[in-house]
Structure 1
Amino acid sequence: MIRIDTIWLAIEPMDMRAGTETALAQVVAVFGAAKPHCAYLFANRRANRMKVLVHDGVGIWLAARRLSQGRFIWPGVRHGSGVELDAEQLQALVLGLP
C-alpha cells in the first residue's frame, strides 16, 4: 500500500500528455520538491482530466483519471501556487463535489 501523509493540489493546469519526468519537474517548479509520502494533484485546463504524482519514499508513482462527462471542481488559477487538501477534500474533488 502507498502511504500518503499530505495531499497537495496544484492550481495551474498541466498538459496531460506529460509523463512522469515532466510531472515531477512540474511538482518541483510549483512546490519546490517532491517530498516522500506526499501526493501532488494536477488537472488540465478543461478540468476533465486529473493526474496525481506520489513520492512513496523510494520512487515515483503517476496515475491519471479522465471523466467521460462533467469536470472536476478546481480552485481558480493563481500562478505557481498550490493548496493542501485533507482526505475528505480529496474524496469530494474526485467525486466532482464543490
Structure 2
Amino acid sequence: MLRIEAIWLAVGASDLRGGMDSLLGQVVARFGSAQRHHAYVFANRRATRLKVLVFDGSGIWLCTRRLQEGRFAWPQEDREALHLSAEQWSWLAAGLPWQRMTAHATASAIAVV
C-alpha cells in the first residue's frame, strides 16, 4: 500500500504535458526537493486535470485524474501557504467546492504551497 504522510498543492496552473521527470523538476523548483511519502498535486490551466506525484523512497508514482465535465475548484491565489483538512482534500479530488467547507486545525491538515 502506498503511504502518504503529507500532500502539497502547487497553487496556480502547471504544465502537465510532460511525464514524471518533468513534474519532478517542478517539485524541485517549487518545493526544494521531493520528500519521502509526500504527494505533490498539480492542476492544468483549465483545472480539468490533476496529476499527483508521490515519492515513496524507492521510486516515483504518478497518478492522473481527469474530469469529463466541470472543473476542479483549484486555488489560483498567490498564497505562500494554505491548510486543508483531509475532508477538504477529498472534496477537491472529487471536484466539489471544498472552499465552502471550514478548515479544522487537525493533525491531518494538508499544507498548500
TM-score, normalised with respect to structure 1: 0.89
Q: Is the 8 A contact 2:12 2:74 kept in 1?
A: no
* Matching residue's letter, 1:24: L
Partner of 2:95: 96
Report the Cα offset of residue 59 of structure 1: 0.9
Greater shift in the superposed pair: 16-25 or 84-93: 84-93
Gaps of 5+ in 2: 98-113
C-alpha separation between the residues in 1 aligned to 2:57 and 2:74? 28
Partner of 2:100: none
Report the Cα offset of residue 86 of structure 1: 4.0
SS at the partner of 2:8? Answer: strand
Report the Cα offset of residue 97 of structure 1: 1.7
Report the Cα offset of residue 76 of structure 1: 1.7
Partner of 2:66: 66
Gaps of 5+ in 1: none
Matched, 1:16 2:39: no
Over the aligned positions, Cα root-mean-square deviation in angstroms equals: 1.7
Relative contact order, CA 8 A, sep 6+: which one is greater?
A: 1
Number of positions where the alignment pairs a residue of Structure 1 with one of Structure 2: 97
Higher Rg of the two aligned structures? 2
C-alpha separation between the residues in 1 aligned to 2:86 and 2:50? 16
SS at the partner of 2:88? Answer: helix
Q: 1:23 to 1:29 in 2, by over 3 A?
A: same
Give deviations 1:42-88, integer Å, cap 9, x for gaps. 00000000000001111111111110000000112428x56454432
Q: Is the 8 A contact 2:12 2:75 kept in 1?
A: no
Q: 1:83 to 1:35 in 2, by over 3 A?
A: farther
